[in-house]
Structure 1
Amino acid sequence: MGTTPLESWNDGAAKRAIVGFVTSAAAEGSPGFVAPMDRIAVFDNDGTLWVEKPGPVQMPFVLAKLTARLEADPSLAGEWPYRAIAERDESYFRALNDQDPDAVASMVKAIGSAWEGTTFGEYEAEAARYLASWRHERFGLPATGLVYQPMLELFDYLRAYGWRLFVCSGGGRDFMRVICEDTWGLPRENVIGSAPECAYRDGVLVRRAVLHGPVALGPGKPEYVLARTGRLPRFAAGNDDVDVEMLRSAQFALLVVHDDDEREYAYTDATQRARATAERCGWTTVSMKNDWNTVLKTRPLPEERDATGE
């Protein structure tokens, strides 16, 4: 990557809006000034920082675990989401991809039970093994290669102006923490997401089946951000309906629109409310097709850096 800020962003309304906000926020005395302590920027993950189609990166990891449990105990087939797994119910998985609250709630409950009693180290090792072997069915890339280059540049740009960056996703907090440092350059404590309660047993912390707070979707997102940072975000980015509440809580809202079926995907499912709110509230909308001259990550992956010494 070169030294030009936001070089993967085409010169258009979205880039100008970002630069205008960030520079104004840094200029003491300007109407848009944001005090350094309040410079909190929060990003959704799936579909905002990396590719979420044909399904979230975490989903095959979860389904493999639940399928193994179902095979070991067929009586689970009467419960959701095991019933959907047993019957190959595509409508359930579409609802899950659209982050339907009922579908997500049943999945979260099953995930909690599947890893109950597991130490956090054991869970992360399991997730790391999965991520090391998983490849995207269309692009052939590992999960870390599916990150959007323009968003990594936006991270760098915000950091240069003193912003503290957080990721807030409905996905598993502990799953994202496996890759956050090498992929986003974010410390683990800056990753917010759905997570289990923990218990101290025999000298170690283990996962419980109970979710810690609400699922990090919709209203749960600003709730978690406030709990973690003590502040609501001044800059927020998302891509679909479950990000609306987080975007509305911010001073500057960025909505990523997936309209590039050649370099990524073009879809509108679960985005109607977000797009309508963006238009009504004057949010900055990012067209992947028109605003980004590069989509997928061009920085070397961690294993490539190790090999080259760079």
Structure 2
Amino acid sequence: MGTTPLGSWNDGAAKRAIVDFVTSSAAEGSPGFVAPRDRIAVFDNDGTLWVEKPVPVQMPFVLGKLAERLEADPSLAGERAYRAIAERDESYFRALNDQDPDAVASMVEAIGSAWEGTTPAEFEADAARYLASWRHERFGRPATGLVYRPMLELFDHLRAYGWRLFVCSGGGRDFMRVICEDTWGLPRENVIGSAPEFAYRDGELVRRAVLHGPVALGPGKPEYVLARTGRLPGFAAGNDDVDVELLRSARFALLVVHDDDVREYAYDDSARRARAAAERDGWTTVSVKHDWKTVLEERHPQEEPSAPCQ
């Protein structure tokens, strides 16, 4: 705790609010004290921990799988997600990108049937192969190079004060678990998200087409957090409307505002309700443009060169 925290953050209201809250949370007897057992910090993933534009990292992985199935069985075009692929329905993909609950639910259903009957190891092998070859169209980086350095520093700062960290995302839990340990330094069991039911067949677990609980969006987020941890978060961070319920459930709420189209992207198309809630409820807002000295994590040695992001 002796080093200066949050080195990639500019000095300002957001950094001061975070440091003050985290420091006071460990000061027994102070009004802001949080008992160690209650120091649960929960983060959304897409747009909060890593770049989500122009499309979330997982989307091409999923769409590629569904396109293969549609080619093999054109009758699948009767289902909403497959029909959108067949018709190249941009409105549907925009709805997915904005994490519209109805669109996401239809996609989750399609994903469930696409990998039904596969083992956890088989699904993870598919995801790992995709992640090994996928690169961001603008930055030329793999998914692991799209993580926001300031958020990783926030992880370290919270850990130093005894906070336990979790990720809760509407994206696939099992997809995120492939990279969580190497990318975020989080154990797999601390990743929460939309996931299928499993069945035990012929001596091994296999994925079912049925979703385990609700999609982890909106009210589903605090529901999943409570089911996983037995507590609601003391600290929560998100970036758009589907994070509002998670942020409202926390003692300290942090909203990431994407307003830097030079080093990242500027957009608010799916965050207007969240920004209104932040202003009304006094949440701490983080401007990518003004609060972060650096946006992306340092490059990994295996990455190819690309334009600097500082």
Q: Say whether the 8 Å CA contact 2:168–2:225 is kept in structure 1.
A: yes
Evaluate the alpha carbon distance shift between residue 180 and residue 303 of structure 1 in structure 2; reply closer, same or farther with a 3 A threshold.
Answer: farther
**Could you say what the CA RMSD is over the residues aligned between the two structures, in angstroms?**
1.2
Whole-angstrom CA distance in 2 between matches of 1:282 and 1:80:
39
Letter in 2 for 1:273: R
What residue number does 1:111 align with?
Answer: 111
Whole-angstrom CA distance in 2 between matches of 1:176 and 1:131:
11
The question of 1:68 aligning with 2:68 is answered yes
What residue number does 1:307 align with?
Answer: none
Whole-angstrom CA distance in 2 between matches of 1:81 and 1:151:
33
Q: Say whether the 8 Å CA contact 1:196–1:209 is kept in structure 2.
A: yes
Whole-angstrom CA distance in 2 between matches of 1:216 and 1:180:
17
The question of 1:202 aligning with 2:202 is answered yes
What residue number does 1:5 align with?
Answer: 5
Evaluate the alpha carbon distance shift between residue 299 and residue 135 of structure 1 in structure 2; reply closer, same or farther with a 3 A threshold.
Answer: closer
The question of 1:121 aligning with 2:121 is answered yes
Q: Say whether the 8 Å CA contact 2:142–2:303 is kept in structure 1.
A: no
Whole-angstrom CA distance in 1 between matches of 2:5 and 2:133:
33
What residue number does 1:217 align with?
Answer: 217
The question of 1:163 aligning with 2:172 is answered no
The question of 1:142 aligning with 2:142 is answered yes
Letter in 1 for 2:24: S
Q: Secondary structure at the match of 1:286?
A: strand
Letter in 1 for 2:92: Y
Q: How does 1:275-290 map to 2 (within 5 A)?
A: 275-290=275-290
Letter in 2 for 1:218: G
What residue number does 1:131 align with?
Answer: 131
Q: How does 1:169-184 map to 2 (within 5 A)?
A: 169-184=169-184
What residue number does 1:229 align with?
Answer: 229
CA offsets, 1:27-53, max 9 Å, x none? 000000000010000000000000000
Q: Say whether the 8 Å CA contact 2:116–2:207 is kept in structure 1.
A: yes
Percent identity, please: 87
Whole-angstrom CA distance in 1 between matches of 2:228 and 2:272:
29
Whole-angstrom CA distance in 2 between matches of 1:45 and 1:262:
21
What residue number does 2:247 align with?
Answer: 247
What residue number does 2:308 align with?
Answer: none
Q: Say whether the 8 Å CA contact 2:41–2:235 is kept in structure 1.
A: yes
Q: Secondary structure at the match of 2:96?
A: helix
Q: Say whether the 8 Å CA contact 2:141–2:303 is kept in structure 1.
A: no
Q: Secondary structure at the match of 1:81?
A: helix
- Unaligned runs of 5+ residues in structure 1 are 305-310
What residue number does 1:28 align with?
Answer: 28
Q: Say whether the 8 Å CA contact 1:145–1:301 is kept in structure 2.
A: no
CA offsets, 1:129-173, max 9 Å, x none? 000000000000000000000000000000000000000000000
What residue number does 2:238 align with?
Answer: 238
Letter in 1 for 2:77: A
Q: Secondary structure at the match of 2:206?
A: strand
Q: Say whether the 8 Å CA contact 1:165–1:186 is kept in structure 2.
A: yes
Q: Say whether the 8 Å CA contact 2:218–2:241 is kept in structure 1.
A: yes
Deviation at 1:300, TM superposition (A): 3.7
Deviation at 1:299, TM superposition (A): 6.1
What residue number does 1:96 align with?
Answer: 96
Q: Say whether the 8 Å CA contact 2:70–2:82 is kept in structure 1.
A: yes
Deviation at 1:4, TM superposition (A): 3.3
Number of residues paired by the alignment? 302
Whole-angstrom CA distance in 1 between matches of 2:286 and 2:98:
20
**Structure 1 residue ranges (4+ consecutive) displaced by more than 2 angstroms after TM superposition:** 299-304
The question of 1:292 aligning with 2:292 is answered yes
Whole-angstrom CA distance in 1 between matches of 2:141 and 2:172:
21
The question of 1:59 aligning with 2:59 is answered yes
What residue number does 2:307 align with?
Answer: none
Letter in 1 for 2:18: I
Deviation at 1:79, TM superposition (A): 1.4
Evaluate the alpha carbon distance shift between residue 67 and residue 86 of structure 1 in structure 2; reply closer, same or farther with a 3 A threshold.
Answer: same
Evaluate the alpha carbon distance shift between residue 185 and residue 299 of structure 1 in structure 2; reply closer, same or farther with a 3 A threshold.
Answer: farther
Q: Say whether the 8 Å CA contact 2:170–2:216 is kept in structure 1.
A: yes
TM-score where L is the length of structure 1: 0.96
Whole-angstrom CA distance in 2 between matches of 1:301 and 1:191:
26
Whole-angstrom CA distance in 2 between matches of 1:114 and 1:301:
35
Q: Secondary structure at the match of 1:296?
A: coil
Whole-angstrom CA distance in 1 between matches of 2:197 and 2:222:
19
Letter in 2 for 1:131: L
Letter in 1 for 2:264: E
